[in-house]
Amino acid sequence: MGFIGSHTVDSLIADGYDVVVMDNLERQVHLGKRPDYLNRKAKYVIGDVRFQKDWSKALRGVDSVIHLAASVGIGQSFWESRKYLQTNVVGTTTLFELLTKEPALKKSISKIVVASSKSLYGEGAYRCSRHGVFYPEQRGLSQLRAGDWEVRCAVCGAPGSAVGVPEEKPPQNLNPYSLSKYATERLALDYSYALGIPAVAFRYFNAYGPRQSLSNPYTGVLAIFLSRIKNGKRPVVFEDGNQLRDFIYVEDIAHANVLALERGEGVYNLGTGRPSSLLQMVTMINNELGTGIEPDVTGDFRPGDNRHDFADNMKFLKSFGPKVFTGLSDGVSKLVEWSLRQKAQDRFSSAESLRKKYIPGA
């Protein structure tokens, strides 16, 4: 019933699928109520992915699974790591344990699609003009405390230029959330091999669009910026705001999830391959709202953050066919238009207080 899930349900039903949805109505996301955008043609089961009985109920008569349930957010995962690991890792394990123990159920499932995350890469991929492409280690605290934000070549020390991150880049998992998503991905692939059920794991880059919670301070950065601006407050940008990210519109992700029921196997980046800076995104949101609220560029940093990343999506395009991704200006326009009818409870400051209490940056 969440952000990406609800769009995926809409796409499935539009393509003629019968859909069963399991969700626990996480209060941090839904504020304790059922969202008004639910597709009435789907069947809904209130359940928790950590419990086998709930999976058993939801999987009756099902022939494929798109598993998107997860606790999300990098910062919060440091001080609520048990919750993240239980939901994301134990929840996924519970699904595959059930399939292992119930042969008839295993036989009925023809495909499993799971949501992984680009955050498992840690730092992105870079090119040195002298030494070629390299995959750097996490930036050191002494470098960050000095306000030296850019990634440098380990051989010559020259600043690296960001390039698209390919799937073969080794994971770094700089925070508990990333680790939990990597575990979700690996569990799907390991059980796929053991049980003979084809699986796809999509490493989502920065998803955005309508239905993204404007009151959850651990959701996507565009929704956080938008919530701050709607409340007349300056959006907070860490480091210098020139970090590059790959923003992918939610309906593009939903369509890929549905297509994966028929195509692909293994791990794929799911991003546009087109990077934008955080400062550019603040400007774009202001322009759409007709506001001019300047960002608060703090010069602070957060452990677990990386400098630049965007997708090398050639593997996805090769397996799933040519794709025209929603343009960023069109996608942001749709997000802002939707937000005008929504309430936004700005909880960023309270989340930042917790972050500074548990994992201060500088």
For each of the domains in the chain, give its residue range(s) and CATH number, in order of start. Answer: 3-124+164-357 (3.40.50.720), 125-163 (no CATH)
pLDDT, tens digit only, all 362 positions of the chain: 789 999 999 999 999 999 999 998 876 555 566 778 999 999 999 999 999 999 999 999 999 999 999 998 888 899 999 999 999 999 999 999 999 999 999 999 999 999 999 999 999 999 999 999 999 999 999 999 999 999 999 999 999 999 999 999 999 999 999 999 999 999 999 999 999 999 999 999 999 999 999 988 888 999 999 999 999 999 999 999 999 999 999 999 999 999 999 999 999 999 999 999 999 999 999 999 999 999 999 999 988 899 999 999 999 999 999 999 999 999 999 999 999 999 898 989 998 998 889 987 65
DSSP state letter for 311: B
Pairwise CA distance, residues 316 & 305, whole Å: 25
Selecting among 44, 121, 135, 177, the annotated active-site residue is 177
Q: Left, alpha or beta for 185 (phi > 0: left; psi -120 to 50: alpha)?
A: alpha
Q: What are phi and psi of 221, to 5 degrees?
A: -65, -35
Q: Is 17 a catalytic residue?
A: no
Residue in the block written with tokens 């207080």: 353
Residue 94: both structure tokens together: 């519970």
Strand ranges, E, within the chain = 20-23, 43-46, 64-67, 111-117, 125-128, 132-134, 161-163, 199-204, 206-208, 236-237, 244-249, 266-270, 275-277, 296-297
Pairwise CA distance, residues 55 & 24, whole Å: 12
Q: What are phi and psi of 196, to 5 degrees?
A: 75, 25
Pairwise CA distance, residues 240 & 339, whole Å: 27
